[in-house]
Amino acid sequence: MYGFKLTSFPDRHKKSKSLQTTIMITSFPTEVLQKIIRLATDIPSAFDTSVEGSVPDKETEVSLAIDQSMRCRLSLCRVSKSFYALALEKLYEIVTIRTHKDVFLLARLLRVQTKLGGNLRGWYCRRLELRFAQGRQTYQGHYWDSGAKNHWGLADACPNLIIFIANITRNQIYYDGPSHFTIPRMLFQTIAHTCAKTLRRFEMRGDTRVGFDRVEMFLRYCPVIEVCRLNAVDPAGPNFSYDAADKVWEDDWSDEEPIEEFHHERRGDPLALVTEHLADVLPHEQITRLTYSGTSPILWGIINALPNLTDLGFSSGDLDFSARRPELVHHTNLAHIRFYPASLDALHGFLDRMTDAVKGGLLPALKTLYVYGFISDSHRRMSAWRISNLNKLGVKAEILEGHGNWLLRVKYTTRTREDLYAEL
């Protein structure tokens, strides 16, 4: 046990508190003081990488806990220079940027070497979050495509990153430009070369859009990722020749052959990219929960390509069940389906196809089928007999109000990337 004894100083002594602090710091080993600070300011919920922990409903609770903890950490840093050195690790553990004006300063601070341990400040960062244009704040795309010294260079300074969240909103009042911000390839390349081995949660929220081919190539480099949430996925993807400046690893991002295959798929049928390419490029990927929101999906093709899928949610336009599309094969794991239809015809077509699939024994594990949306009473009555048919087949089918929770979970095996490619 370590202990110390403080001498009682009279109140008139001007340096009473400073001397007490000095005695305490010199009496305890650095490791003990750091552990005390770590336990006093720890926020387990801020590093929750489970599906349940990433639900948007918990954002407010986690944000309040982070703000409270950061105030405590800042107070510790103001005690003395010694305390600042001790609390620096926790001060940069969570970095939340609410305005683009702070990005350049943070990019520089994260690359400053600390006196205690000699690591860069970014080495301690485990959660990096960008929140632009939230509330009354505005963001007009300033420096969006800039590289190492701005937005996407932040990840390059954080080699131990566990959570990366970008919530970028297009303010329609002040910003007259594209409806979505396209995520540049440089961000995926940066993460692949710096913190891919530690990254467990990756989210692109707000008005962001990601090319599907870039997501596939990016996920190859992330062996421990658990949650990947994307606001919008573009099957065709942006032009590969246009990207952020300053730092692009052209030689190491060696996917020229897959890129050519992506372009070939785009020219033929962009929507076929999901079904024809996913299983071939990522046979080791074990997706168990998938939420799709975008252009009309090839529903049977998506289900066929993901044999370990247990939970499927999707929101889209009219579904395409034409003869040229693949037919559903026997799927033993799909248990829960959530659907947000765009029209009454899409709802009826979907319910009819699901009834046929259950009758044919193609979905033996299906337990629940929930339809979300603000559906009128007349449309409910028109769909009642279809819902009743599914209930008679042992599937709990209901039409509910609201949107439901849209989650995307990606679970990988623990084998190395080299072992996986050796099996192909």
Query: What is the b/e burial string over 112-123, where b = at least 16 CB atoms within 10 angstroms of the residue's CB?
Result: eeeeeeeebbbb
Check if the beta carbon of residue 237 is closer than 8 Å to that of residue 213. Answer: yes
| Tokens coding 130 | 């960008």
Spatial separation of the C-alpha atoms in residues 48 and 163, rounded to whole Å: 9
SS3 at position 286: strand
| Beta-carbon count within 10 A of 44 CB | 8
Spatial separation of the C-alpha atoms in residues 187 and 218, rounded to whole Å: 9
Closest to 47 in 3D by CA, of 83, 87, 90: 90
Check if the beta carbon of residue 309 is closer than 8 Å to that of residue 408. Answer: no
The residues spanned by each domain of the chain are 92-270, 286-424
Name the residue with tokens 């329609």.
Answer: 172
Q: Which helix (H) or strand (E) holds 215?
A: helix 212-220
Spatial separation of the C-alpha atoms in residues 260 and 107, rounded to whole Å: 34
pTM here is: 0.60
The C-alpha angle 49, 55, 59, rounded to 5 degrees, equals 95
Q: How far is CA 408 from CA 51, 54, 55, 228, 314, in A?
A: 8, 10, 10, 6, 11
Spatial separation of the C-alpha atoms in residues 213 and 193, rounded to whole Å: 18
| Tokens coding 393 | 């087949």
- pLDDT at residue 24 in the model: 55
Query: What is the b/e burial string over 9-22, where b = at least 16 CB atoms within 10 angstroms of the residue's CB?
Result: eeeeeeeeeeeeee
Amino acid (1-letter code) at residue 210: V
Q: How far is CA 411 from CA 49, 95, 338, in A?
A: 11, 26, 20
Spatial separation of the C-alpha atoms in residues 421 and 419, rounded to whole Å: 6
Q: Which helix (H) or strand (E) holds 128?
A: strand 127-132
- pLDDT at residue 75 in the model: 74
- pLDDT at residue 94 in the model: 86
Check if the beta carbon of residue 111 is closer than 8 Å to that of residue 157. Answer: yes
Spatial separation of the C-alpha atoms in residues 308 and 286, rounded to whole Å: 6
The C-alpha angle 125, 130, 136, rounded to 5 degrees, equals 140
- Is the sign of the CA dihedral 173, 175, 176, 177 positive or negative? negative
Quote helix, strand, coil % in the chain, to nearest 5.
40, 15, 45
Spatial separation of the C-alpha atoms in residues 162 and 238, rounded to whole Å: 27
Name the residue with tokens 């969240």.
Answer: 165
> Mean pLDDT for each 10-residue chunk of the chain (424 residues)?
39 49 59 70 78 68 79 73 72 83 82 76 89 66 61 81 85 57 76 86 82 73 81 58 43 47 43 40 56 63 77 67 59 88 81 89 92 77 89 91 43 32 29
- pLDDT at residue 369 in the model: 92
- pLDDT at residue 298 in the model: 65
- pLDDT at residue 267 in the model: 42
